[in-house]
Amino acid sequence: MLLAVQKSLKTLRPDWEPAPSPKPSLIAEMDSLSGWMEHRHTLLLRTLIDGTAEELQLPGVPTLFIRVGEVIETLRKDTRLKFAEFREKWTTRLEERALLPFLQRNQWIVPHPEGGVALVGKGNRKEARMLYLQTLHDMSFDASRQWASIAGRLEAFQEQFATEWLRELPPEGNFRAPPVLEATLRAAEVRAWKNLRLSLPGMAEESFVRAVQRWDNRRFLNPGALAREVPEVWRKGEPTRNGFIGFMRAVSAVSERMTGAMLDHYERKWKLLLRGFSKE
């Protein structure tokens, strides 16, 4: 699953959307969740289910079910707000009037023999990476931090959900199988989403380097044009569009949508577990 998502993220397309999937059955959903578990935990869950009475029932917890939805919706709103603030901040930092003096101060801009200006060097991979590190590295890590902030709050809420859920359940053993499932898959879930989140800056760097390297044949009309046009692929063919800002928006869109995908996953998980079910 993570590999497929990472391949999609490598494009850093701002219009990327996850493909819709049909609503699975309860059994399919439970099977999907158990895929996050270690094998010994899956075996434990199966033993608990098969070793209980002929009928396994799990009462629903409607109050907590509703609260989960409210918490996730609040986190979605906060996600939209955080990334809107992120884009506003980095748009200001990457505007031509802010970026151009930085490029000039760090001697990235040189006269072109045929007129106009060019980037210094030939644009090999090392030079392209240095340009990224000096202009966009902090931005991509900041995008990852916005995601991490929501993930940290969600993890704290999960602890609360689990505690409240156990408090509502009868103490008999056959009611403890689903909590065992949730408790044993949680660490793997957190680890998987964290690994994906930490990979975002590296994927952003690789996308930028591949797109802008080998600039030795490029010539720009003036320094302002250079500051806008170096990341050409993220300008969408608009003469006045700033490619650095376009790249920032692409990274922001990927990070925000993956934060949303994370929230969707946890909402589905908790609502599945809290709605109640029975095994005849």
Average confidence (pLDDT) over 93-108 = 95
pLDDT at position 272: 82
Alpha carbon of residue 140 to chain centroid: 12
Alpha carbon of residue 85 to chain centroid: 17
Per-residue confidence at 38, pLDDT binned at 50, 70, 90? low
pLDDT at position 4: 41
Mean per-residue pLDDT over the chain, rounded: 81
In whole angstroms, give the CA distance from residue 218 to residue 48. 66
In whole angstroms, give the CA distance from residue 56 to residue 264. 27
Torsion of CA 149, 153, 159, 163, to 10 degrees: 180
Average confidence (pLDDT) over 233-252 = 88
Per-residue confidence at 64, pLDDT binned at 50, 70, 90? confident
pLDDT at position 163: 86
Residues 6+ apart with CB under 8 A from 67: 161
Amino acid letter for position 60: G
Per-residue confidence at 50, pLDDT binned at 50, 70, 90? low
Q: Is the pLDDT of residue 7 over 50?
A: no
Q: Is the pLDDT of residue 154 over 80?
A: yes
In whole angstroms, give the CA distance from residue 253 to residue 125. 26
Tokens of 106: 């760090």
Q: What percent of the chain has pLDDT over 90?
A: 54
Smallest CA-to-CA distance from 19 within 28, 32, 10, 8 is with 8
* Confidence (pTM): 0.79
Q: Is the pLDDT of residue 265 over 70?
A: yes
Instruction: For residue 117, list its beta bridge partners.
Output: 111, 220
Q: Is the pLDDT of residue 229 over 80?
A: yes
Instruction: For residue 220, list its beta bridge partners.
Output: 117
| Structure-model confidence comparison of residues 12 and 214, the more confident one | 214
pLDDT at position 239: 67
CB atoms within 10 A of CB 106: 13
pLDDT at position 162: 87
Tokens of 189: 């879930």
Tokens of 217: 């044949």
Average confidence (pLDDT) over 75-85 = 97
Whether 261 and 189 have beta carbons less than 8 Å apart is answered as no
Amino acid letter for position 280: E
